[in-house]
């Protein structure tokens, strides 16, 4: 569409597409309700606040005598509103062991850059946990197998993401819950049956029989006799 300019041109400026989109978005619409405060999303343009909330996780592996301390700092977006959200912003890994210093620093910088990028960062957990050490993995405290030190760093990040609500706790499905309930019922029934047999058939003060390994041996006529298999010291 042609626009006729009636006044003298004294200056000019090329209008960018971003400015046109911003102007269209800010233009008020007739009859529309007033706009609420804009929701702040985590992006690379978000400046680092003066203070961040963080959590530190201790990693003790048999690969080194010194532990690693993984610190993850979070930024609070839209604090005090219904859109309040806690997102990871940066990560630091410290240790007295300097053998892995270079790749640990590189890893923390890359992960921190991914955190600041925004969006879904939960994919980092699977990527780190899929790293295998060619020399072999190890079992951490509690019996959980770790294929590498990098995988345990990913496990620490997963624990943090679950704590702040970015990852949901994986519950058991219906089949697993039913199987566990059946096994628990079987165990409780066997325990009750054993208690009933011990309390009902043999006296409370009975001793362990060396032949049948049952607490059924009692003193009878001055001789230790088993009420379960008949074993007697007196022959």
pLDDT (tens digit, 9 = 90+) per residue, 128-148? 999 998 888 888 887 888 999
- Residue 111: pLDDT band (50, 70, 90) is very high
Closest residue by Cα to residue 153 from 67, 225, 230: 67
pLDDT at 153: 93
Domain boundaries, the chain: 53-164, 201-235
- Residues 148 and 131 sit within 8 Å (Cβ to Cβ): yes
pLDDT at 49: 84
140 Cβ contact partners less than 8 Å away, ≥ 6 residues apart: 61, 146, 152
Q: What percent of the chain has pLDDT over 70?
A: 82
pLDDT at 197: 58
Rounded-to-integer distance, Cα 151 and Cα 205, Å: 54
pLDDT at 206 over 90: no
pLDDT at 178: 81
Higher-confidence residue: 201 or 119?
119
Tell me how crowded residue 15 is: count the other CB atoms within 10 A of its CB. 9
Q: What is the mean pLDDT of the chain?
A: 80
Residues in the chain: 235
Tokens describing residue 107: 């890893």
pLDDT at 112: 93
47-94 tens-digit pLDDT: 888 889 899 999 998 888 889 999 999 998 888 888 888 899 999 999
> Which residue is associated with the tokens 């022959």?
235
- Residues 228 and 216 sit within 8 Å (Cβ to Cβ): yes
Q: How far is CA 226 from CA 54, 107, 200, 204, 218, in A?
A: 65, 68, 15, 13, 6
Of 11-20, 65-74, 190-199, 226-235, where does the model show the most confidence?
Answer: 65-74
Rounded-to-integer distance, Cα 74 and Cα 130, Å: 25
- Residue 208: pLDDT band (50, 70, 90) is confident
Higher-confidence residue: 151 or 207?
151
Helix (H, G, I), strand (E, B) or coil at 166: coil
180-189 tens-digit pLDDT: 788 788 878 7
């Amino acid at each position: 569409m042609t626009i006729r300019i009636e006044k003298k041109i004294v200056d000019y400026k090329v209008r960018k597409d971003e400015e046109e989109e911003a102007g269209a978005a800010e233009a008020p619409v007739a009859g529309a309700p007033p706009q609420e405060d804009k929701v702040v999303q985590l992006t690379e343009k978000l400046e680092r606040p003066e203070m961040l909330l963080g959590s530190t996780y201790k990693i003790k592996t048999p690969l080194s005598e010194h532990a690693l301390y993984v610190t993850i700092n979070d930024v609070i977006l839209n604090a005090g509103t219904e859109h309040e959200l806690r997102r990871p912003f940066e990560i630091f890994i410290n240790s007295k062991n300097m053998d892995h210093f270079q790749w640990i620093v590189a890893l923390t910088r890359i992960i921190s850059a991914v955190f600041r990028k925004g969006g879904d960062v939960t994919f980092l957990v699977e990527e780190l946990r899929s790293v295998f050490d060619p020399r072999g993995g190890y079992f951490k405290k509690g019996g959980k197998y770790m294929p590498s030190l990098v995988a345990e760093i990913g496990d620490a990040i997963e624990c943090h993401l679950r704590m702040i609500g970015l990852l949901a706790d994986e519950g058991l499905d219906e089949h697993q819950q039913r199987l566990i309930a059946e096994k628990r019922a079987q165990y409780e029934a066997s325990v009750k049956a054993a208690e009933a047999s011990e309390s009902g058939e043999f006296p409370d003060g009975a001793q362990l029989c060396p032949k049948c390994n049952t607490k059924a041996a009692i003193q009878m006529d001055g001789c230790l006799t088993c009420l379960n298999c008949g074993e007697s010291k007196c022959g």
